[in-house]
Structure 1
Amino acid sequence: MLSTQEREVCDLIARKQGTLLEDLKLHVGTPTGGGNLKAIERSRTLLTDRLNAIGATTELTPGDPKPAWLGPQIQIPSSSLSSNLKPGLRSVLIAGHLDTVHDPDGPFKELTIAPDGKTATGPGCVDMKGGLVIAVAALETLAEAGVECSWSFFLNADEETGTYHSQRALREASAKHDFGLAIEPALAGGELAIERVGSGQFLVDVRGKAAHVGRAFTEGISAVTKLGEILVKIGQMPEPERGMVANVGPITGGNAANAVPDHATAFGNVRFPDQAVADELGAKLDSLATSGEALPKVSVYRSFNRPAKPEIPPTRALAERAREVAEALGQSLPFAKTGGVCDGNIMQDAGLPTIDTLGVRGGGLHTPDEWIDLSSLVERCQLMAVLVMRLCQQ
């Protein structure tokens, strides 16, 4: 059941449907994919200016470098923390990301509303510009209604690429709050994710000895042949019934069929349900490396950058609080597990009870068909506002 003040907040949000849609159009039309730092900072400023206007103070934190073996890094984005903390109240950390996976120079550039007005497509509309729009509007409405809340809003721009640059800042922010709310989009059926696997990346780098296939074949040492042997071993690692997954993606090796290749590489991804399985997978990958300088030389690099997010009692309790709010609003909020990862993994690993699919509903994430259920703008904004209100004032 909603209190009188909660109903007032929800009524105010219901009257903002047109404003929410216009705000979404603005942010979807700001191309923050592909490391487009100018657009990222433009989007950040649009959001933080509004947060500052309702009492927040915003601080930027320069990003940290990612491991060199993951590839070149020309520009490193910053993260920001906009805080409006109040003594005597429980504090909420809301986390969102500005980046998308979409090419800023591609044809998918703006929000297009379907003829029936119920859905729309656009780059990042659901992952996660819709979430950013509803979260800021929720905080603005609470301020407008005179509701005292204690919150911070964390924004990064590297979530889609692993949160390597902003993980330290996110962990530090997580340690200073009581509850974590990440505004990733709802799962396919509108569910709230209460359990996530962990993930990591790895690189197998093999060095051999080049030689002409016709004139000096026996003098060569094939890096590709050795890599092939290793790939067979990696292919034997997965145990899906235990949640242990290892997958190899991009592979390189050799540059001509008549030359013994002296270099080969394979990048891969792992998934794991808990730290014990992560450690087991890590040990298996590490065992593939060779010692010394003898050829073929095998080096293994890995970074398990997203810890598993198992269901724990504090997070379950937080999810139940969210469900209570949803039911009071006449909404359904089922729970589910997912094999995807997000910044909620990091927040919970830092000790902060976190639920992380409080954004809008939709689908087609990371595709040119990405779409949003427009009715979820108001519904999820109301859910966010009332949940923040109750958490801060409990």
Structure 2
Amino acid sequence: MERAGDAPMLAQVEHWASVNSGTRNLAGLATMADLLADAFAVLPGDIALVAPEPVETVGGDGVATPIDHGRHLLLSVRPAADRRLLFTGHMDTVYPVDHPFQALSWRAPGELVGPGVADMKGGLAVLLAALTAVEAAGVAIGYDVLINSDEETGSLASRALIERCARGKLAALTYEPALPDGTLAGARGGTGNFSIVVRGRSAHAGRNPEEGRNALVAAAALAVRLAAAAVPGLTVNPARIDGGGPNNVVPDLAILRVNFRPRHAGAIAAAQAALDGAAAAIRADHDVQVAVHGSFNRPPKPVDDGAARLFALVERCGADLGLAIARRDTGGVCDGNNIAAAGVPVIDTMGVRGGAIHSPDEYLLVDSLAERAGLSALTILRLAEEGLA
């Protein structure tokens, strides 16, 4: 797997990380998509930039309006092959164009600090190097590469595309960063994000408050009720209430933002029932309107039999390369959740070793570029030769 390690990955990471591609920076995402399309054009197959699916967001006025996203890169190689794989990554980062963290620096020898160097422009370089090495080896396996533009905000504009690409695949590898010691993510919980719009009735707070219907109080009561719905296997985080106004006006609008974290499929049903019941109770108790916007956009990802076989294969490949590959369950979510929900075994932390992601201290361990590219290339070759026995 020396060929994978010989790829110019560090130069690619430095170039790509110098482009701000925060999820809402459409110009930066367009630049990044073009750079990636040029880079991945060394592989056979057809490259397309796919339009994002429509997505709405609820603003502070309680109105759902469309929100724009960047295009997604899709490369399809040998679509008629009997054995096909899916490789996924994302081009967006959590750092908007006005974030102070924009520049690259060296924290220590071999530790590159910069926005997106680990999550996941380093992972994209690893993926490209691995596939280039596999193609050079003459192994004619089929695959799709999907690099979306909105992973950091939930992949709402690419979820259906992920599901379509996953269909019929033998296995999938996603290039989120591993932990600094190389540990991979095992089982993941799911997530659901909701904006709940509460509309009451305004009135004078001193002259006739009884004629008002306080939307802020109702939203607060809803938050308390939902927080009490947490049970083992389900956490509930009421995160923010938008609304209110002058002290002498009974507020007629409030928006509650809440996050659910189900650990298993049954917890999603429990969360939905709690949400429906709480909304109905608040409507009745406070005489307000309640409109729920959102979804459980990433289902829980257990390690089922197929995933266990894929992990075992990666562990064997690691051993052959002198790498000890461990895994650990995590509460975080990513596109691997949606791939697993489509019935495809997936390992979603095949990217670089690094840390402090989503912070101004994000770093990449540079020696992991060659290491992880070699691990991916060998894994892909074994999947091509052996399948997922």
Give the TM-score normalised by the residue count of structure 1.
Answer: 0.91
Kindly tell me: are residues 36 and 199 of structure 1, through their superposed partners in 2, closer, same or farther at Cα, counting changes over 3 Å? Answer: same
The whole-number CA distance in structure 2 between the counterparts of 1:377 and 1:33 is: 23
Are 1:275 and 2:265 counterparts?
Answer: yes
Are 1:320 and 2:309 counterparts?
Answer: no
Q: Matched residue of 2:123: which SS?
A: helix
Kindly tell me: are residues 141 and 317 of structure 1, through their superposed partners in 2, closer, same or farther at Cα, counting changes over 3 Å? Answer: same
Q: Tell me how far 1:89 sits from its aligned partner.
A: 5.3
Q: Tell me how far 1:253 sits from its aligned partner.
A: 2.4
Conservation of the 8 A alpha-carbon contact between 2:113 and 2:363: yes
User: What is aligned with 2:16?
Assistant: 27
User: What is aligned with 2:277?
Assistant: 287
2:44 to 51, 55, 76: 55
Counterpart residue type for residue 218 of structure 2: K
The whole-number CA distance in structure 1 between the counterparts of 2:279 and 2:21 is: 38
Counterpart residue type for residue 237 of structure 2: N
2:166 to 167, 174, 194: 174
The whole-number CA distance in structure 1 between the counterparts of 2:135 and 2:216 is: 62
- Mind listing any 5+ residue stretches in structure 1 that lack a counterpart? 1-9
Q: Matched residue of 1:153: which SS?
A: strand
User: What is aligned with 1:98?
Assistant: 91
Q: Tell me how far 1:294 sits from its aligned partner.
A: 8.4
User: What is aligned with 1:342?
Assistant: 334
The whole-number CA distance in structure 1 between the counterparts of 2:170 and 2:89 is: 17
The whole-number CA distance in structure 2 between the counterparts of 1:264 and 1:234 is: 16
User: What is aligned with 1:138?
Assistant: 130
Conservation of the 8 A alpha-carbon contact between 1:194 and 1:316: no
Aligned residue runs from structure 1 range 208-287, under 5 A: 208-239=200-231, 242-287=232-277
After superposing on structure 2, the runs of 4+ consecutive aligned residues of structure 1 that deviate more than 4 Å are 86-89, 291-294
- Mind listing any 5+ residue stretches in structure 2 that lack a counterpart? none
Counterpart residue type for residue 138 of structure 2: G
2:117 to 115, 125, 144: 125
The whole-number CA distance in structure 2 between the counterparts of 1:89 and 1:298 is: 50
The whole-number CA distance in structure 2 between the counterparts of 1:26 and 1:230 is: 47
Conservation of the 8 A alpha-carbon contact between 2:216 and 2:251: yes
Q: Matched residue of 1:316: which SS?
A: helix
Are 1:148 and 2:140 counterparts?
Answer: yes
Counterpart residue type for residue 115 of structure 2: P
Give the number of equivalent residue pairs: 380
The whole-number CA distance in structure 1 between the counterparts of 2:275 and 2:42 is: 50
Moved more, 192-201 or 71-80: 71-80
Query: 1:51-75 CA distances to partner (integer Å, 9 max, x unpaired)?
Result: 3332121133321112454754442
Q: Tell me how far 1:87 sits from its aligned partner.
A: 5.3
The whole-number CA distance in structure 2 between the counterparts of 1:391 and 1:38 is: 38
Moved more, 99-108 or 161-170: 99-108
Q: Matched residue of 1:246: which SS?
A: strand
Q: Tell me how far 1:328 sits from its aligned partner.
A: 0.7
Counterpart residue type for residue 11 of structure 1: E
User: What is aligned with 1:112?
Assistant: 105
Q: Matched residue of 1:260: which SS?
A: coil
The whole-number CA distance in structure 1 between the counterparts of 2:87 and 2:21 is: 20
Conservation of the 8 A alpha-carbon contact between 1:78 and 1:166: no
Q: Tell me how far 1:300 sits from its aligned partner.
A: 2.7
The whole-number CA distance in structure 1 between the counterparts of 2:334 and 2:28 is: 22
Conservation of the 8 A alpha-carbon contact between 2:33 and 2:72: no
Counterpart residue type for residue 14 of structure 1: G
Conservation of the 8 A alpha-carbon contact between 2:55 and 2:68: no
The whole-number CA distance in structure 1 between the counterparts of 2:303 and 2:258 is: 26
The whole-number CA distance in structure 2 between the counterparts of 1:343 and 1:72 is: 24
Moved more, 56-65 or 24-33: 56-65
1:193 to 180, 185, 189: 185
User: What is aligned with 2:366?
Assistant: 374
Query: Identity of counterpart residues, as a percentage?
Result: 33
Conservation of the 8 A alpha-carbon contact between 1:28 and 1:122: yes
Conservation of the 8 A alpha-carbon contact between 1:89 and 1:393: no
Moved more, 31-40 or 59-68: 59-68
Conservation of the 8 A alpha-carbon contact between 1:221 and 1:262: yes
Kindly tell me: are residues 67 and 212 of structure 1, through their superposed partners in 2, closer, same or farther at Cα, counting changes over 3 Å? Answer: same
The whole-number CA distance in structure 2 between the counterparts of 1:371 and 1:357 is: 16
